[in-house]
Amino acid sequence: MAEEINYLSSQISESLEPLNVLEKSVHQVLAELQKYISVLEHKESLSLNLGMPLRGSILCDQLSKLFSVPRPSIVDGPEVTWSKVVLTLGPSPEHCHPNSICKIDDSSIRLAEEDCLLIVSGRPWRFLSPWPDRKDRELELAVTSTTLDLVTGLEKDMVSGIVS
């Protein structure tokens, strides 16, 4: 079974640079390729990390406005978004209770009563469903294909440069 790509967040500190505009030293190219590898190892979206506009990002921004606070209240662990909470709890989160602590990946969060009731209603899930957006998936496939072609081209250019 294929693993899902993370369209919600990025673990690298700066955006990826498009490989087709690289006119840099071998060291700089290798450093940029390492960032690409890191994105792929973390199962993150290349298009998100390249700074491309995704429909899902817009939906996530709008979703956060439905809740009583912009971000969930963290008891322990790293910050999470409302989208991550909704997608993790699923379409019918019966185990969600007001003021209880929920585990979302490596974080523990406390949900206010009104936020819990909203989540239990299933409306936030329906707002995001289907996730990820079909257009975002299509963009990701196109970006991945283009990136693979560019990396293959870089490899050929580097090999022919060494041979010459």
**Using one digit for the tens of pLDDT, what is the confidence trace for 42-97?**
999 999 999 999 999 999 999 999 999 999 999 999 999 999 999 999 887 877 88
- Does residue 162 belong to any structural domain of this protein? no
Confidence of residue 133 (pLDDT cuts 50, 70, 90): very high
Query: Within a domain: residue 17?
Result: no
Please count the structural domains in the chain: 1
For residue 28, being part of any structural domain is answered with no
Domain with 114 in it: 55-128
Q: Is the pLDDT of residue 1 over 50?
A: no
* Any domain includes 106: yes
pLDDT higher than 90, residue 8? no
* Cβ count within 10 A of residue 117: 12
The answer as to whether 33 is a domain residue is: no
Is the pLDDT reported for residue 100 higher than 90? no
**Predicted pLDDT of residue 48:** 93
Mean of per-residue pLDDT scores for the chain: 87
Whether 128 shows a pLDDT value over 90: the answer reads yes
Cβ proximity of 79 and 90 under 8 Å: no
Residue 15 lies in a domain: no
Residue 94 in any domain: the answer is: yes
Range name among 30-34, 111-115, 158-162 with the lowest pLDDT average: 158-162
Please report, in angstroms and rounded to a whole number, the separation of the first and last CA atoms in the chain. 44
Q: How confident is the model at residue 137 (pLDDT cuts 50, 70, 90)?
A: very high
Q: Give yes or no for residue 20 having a pLDDT over 50.
A: yes
User: What pLDDT sits at residue 13?
Assistant: 79
| 63 strand-pairing partners | none
CA-CA distance, 14 to 9, in Å (whole number)? 12
According to DSSP H, which parts of the chain are helical? 26-41, 46-49, 55-64, 82-89, 113-121, 123-128, 134-163
Q: Check residue 139 and give left, alpha or beta (phi > 0: left; psi -120 to 50: alpha).
A: alpha
Supply the pLDDT for residue 162: 61
Does some domain include residue 45? no
- Is this prediction's pTM over 0.85? no
